[in-house]
Copies of this chain bind each other. A is one copy, B any other.
Amino acid sequence: MAGWARAVRGLLLDVSGVLYDSGADGGVPIAGSAEAVRRIKASGLKLRLCTNETQATRENFVKKLQGMGFDVSVSEVTAPAPAACHILKERGLRPHLLVHDDLVPEFAEIDKTNPNCVVLGDAAENFTYANLNEAFRVLIGMEKPVLISLGRGRYYKETDGLKLDVGAYMKALEYACDVQAEVVGKPSKRFFESALAEMGVLAEQTFRRKPPRREA
């Protein structure tokens, strides 16, 4: 065992492209990955799934993974929406949400009346002309627009082709409002730090496995 490996106390794992490949029926597990997760946990290492998934609540995300044979729980997942909720509460922000329908429950306990920020996720079919104009109007109506973006991906692949990711829409709103979004999710350092804090380990005690870069 290499020297660095002996110091490792926990692992941060990407999920899509590492544990499973997305596809038609929610995806297929990558061969050996469920067994790897089992062995990691059996070894006493701490484990945390670090995902930019914003098309489902953590509950549903974990259900999907469990259905593929992964022994994981909601408490082992770090995702942008809960991290954003933490920021919203901390700063007294009331979001106007432009997110996927399936993500909305993550914000159930957040006050959304009289919004003073916009939270943007991969809204997919909710990225309509009307919804984009509405989010824009909320932002431009603020003295100092606050735009929180759940990730900044450019695009991703689904079975029916490539799709623009949240980052593209983030750029549209940034330009229209002359504002810079606060990105919550990978690759934000703060996002990784909260994952570490939740695991209770230090950065130098972790190992993060990520797949080969597939997109710009």
Residues of A within 8 A of B (CB): 124-125, 127-129, 132-133, 136-137, 140, 154-155, 161-165, 167-169, 171-178, 216
Contacts and interface: CB of A to CB of B under 8 A. Distances in A.
Given A140-B155, A155-B140, A171-B171, A132 B176 contact: no
* Chain A contact surface mostly: helix
Nearest to A155: B176
A161 B124 CA distance: 24
A162 B136 CA distance: 8
Copies held by the complex: 2
A167 B161 contact: no
A131 to B, nearest CB: 10
A168 B162 contact: no
B133 A164 contact: yes
B128 A140 contact: no
A174 B171 CA distance: 9
A160 B172 CA distance: 21
Given A132-B164, A169-B172, 17 more contacts: A127-B132, A128-B128, A128-B129, A133-B162, A136-B162, A136-B168, A140-B155, A154-B176, A154-B178, A155-B176, A165-B176, A168-B172, A168-B173, A168-B175, A168-B176, A171-B174, A178-B216
